[in-house]
Amino acid sequence: MILKKKRVIGHQVEYLGDARLDVAGDVATLSLVSSKEEILVGSRLIRANDAPFMNFVPHVPETPVSGRVISSYGGVAEAGPLTTVVINRGSDHGIDVGSVLFNYKAGRLIRKENRNEPNRYTPIEKNGNLFIYRVFPMFSYGLVLDSLRAVNVGDEVKAP
């Protein structure tokens, strides 16, 4: 994931399945326990951590927050309700688990009658709501709760 400043803030990975360690050592042997998709030679392994059950309480962030959608989970071009998106704001910006943000669509270009006229745009429009469920220092994962139109990379997010 890359911010406007072209600074890497993390790497997005997809869960493919679970494996069990059979033989430990410099070269280990694993058995595939389950898979969601095909697991290929070269796929990366990450040790599973026992994440505690978390009770999510929706709330407005304590500080004003403004950011952008920088990715959608699974690489889909357009996200809709109950889809995960990634935003470029995290705990360093006042976001925590349970934060609720509004999603906004940029204004659309109004057709010109004369090409010498300056560009004019419709006002930005509130599109829907995001519920933040996973937070890192520089970015967060949010669930699109509802949206009037598709949520796209570049859409603005703000605290209500």
Instruction: List pLDDT tens digits, range 112-141.
Output: 888 898 999 999 999 999 999 999 999 999
Compute the distance between CA of residue 109 and CA of residue 94 in angstroms, rounded to an integer.
33
List, for residues 61-100, the tens digit of each pLDDT value.
Answer: 999 999 999 999 887 889 999 999 999 999 999 999 999 9
Are 132 and 97 spatial neighbours (Cβ–Cβ below 8 Å)?
A: yes
User: Which of 5-14, 28-37, 68-77, 148-157 is predicted with the least confidence, judged by mean pLDDT?
Assistant: 5-14
Measure the CA angle with vertex 137, ends 67 and 42; round to 5°: 105
User: For the CA atoms of 61, 81, 155, 132, what is the dihedral angle to 10 degrees?
Assistant: 20
Are 58 and 145 spatial neighbours (Cβ–Cβ below 8 Å)?
A: no
- Domain locations along the chain: 66-158
Architecture of domain 66-158: Beta Barrel (2.40)
Residues 28-34: what's their mean pLDDT?
87
